[in-house]
Amino acid sequence: MAKKPKQPWPTKAVMQQIYEMNLWGGTSTDFYSGTGSHEPKIVNPYLKALITFFESHNTPLVVCDLGCGDFNIGKSLSKYTQKYIAIDIVEKLINRNKSLFKESNLEFYCLDISNDELPSGDCIILRQVLQHISNTEIQKIIKKIAVYKYIILTEHLPSEDYIPNKDIISGQGIRLKQNSGVNLLEAPFNLNIREEKTLDTYILENNKGCIVTTLYTLF
């Protein structure tokens, strides 16, 4: 009898292992969300672009950061919002963040963004999150975030032409090795938007692709 194919781990278990084994770098004594969340050449232009966007509104936005990680980036954004709701799937990481970062308008929640109900708000931040998860999970997330007015999406993409949205098993890796990347406007996702604007692009060295941040206005 042929063996059944091995089933992938649930995303929650995968992400817990990534942090426990420091697969994105860092030391064994703390959580670390990778160089994309810490390298100043990548982070500073991104922060400037988002702060400019937040400050363009007369009424501060309620922002939901889906996949907030170690909060090295979010800690510089929360003061520009009415409320900043930071979410991650790893409970120990969220507990660590709660102990380190305290603001009157800041909330942390441990949620599985593909299965759990999301808080209400004006704007979603998804920074290098979707690139790590399967198309099935992305489709479930899109149904939830389509009710927010703004989506700020950051993805690691190939520098040249690529085939969007090749499927992967959720985990540490991304679609780059398959010459692919996440594009929410293309099949099978087909996100309906009113406007699209590129906020920031960082080109990595040695043909390792680029990190692109896009603002989608849905209505």
CATH no. for residue 122?
Answer: 3.40.50.150
- Whether 50 is in a domain gets the answer yes
> Rounded to two decimals, what is the model's pTM?
0.93
Q: What is the pLDDT at residue 26?
A: 81
Distance between CA atoms of 201 and 33, rounded to whole angstroms?
Answer: 19
Range of the domain at 80: 36-217
Q: Is residue 109 part of a domain?
A: yes
In a domain, 26, yes or no: no
148 lies in some domain: yes
Domain count, the chain: 1
117 pLDDT higher than 50: yes
Q: What is the pLDDT of residue 112?
A: 96
Band (pLDDT 50/70/90 cuts) for residue 25 is confident
Does the pLDDT of residue 6 top 80, yes or no? no
Q: Is residue 203 part of a domain?
A: yes
In a domain, 85, yes or no: yes
pLDDT at 180 > cutoff 60? yes
Contact (CB, 8 A) for 152 and 199 = yes
Of 119, 109, 72, the C-alpha closest to 89 is 109
Query: Among all chains, which residue has been given the structure tokens 């993409």?
Result: 157
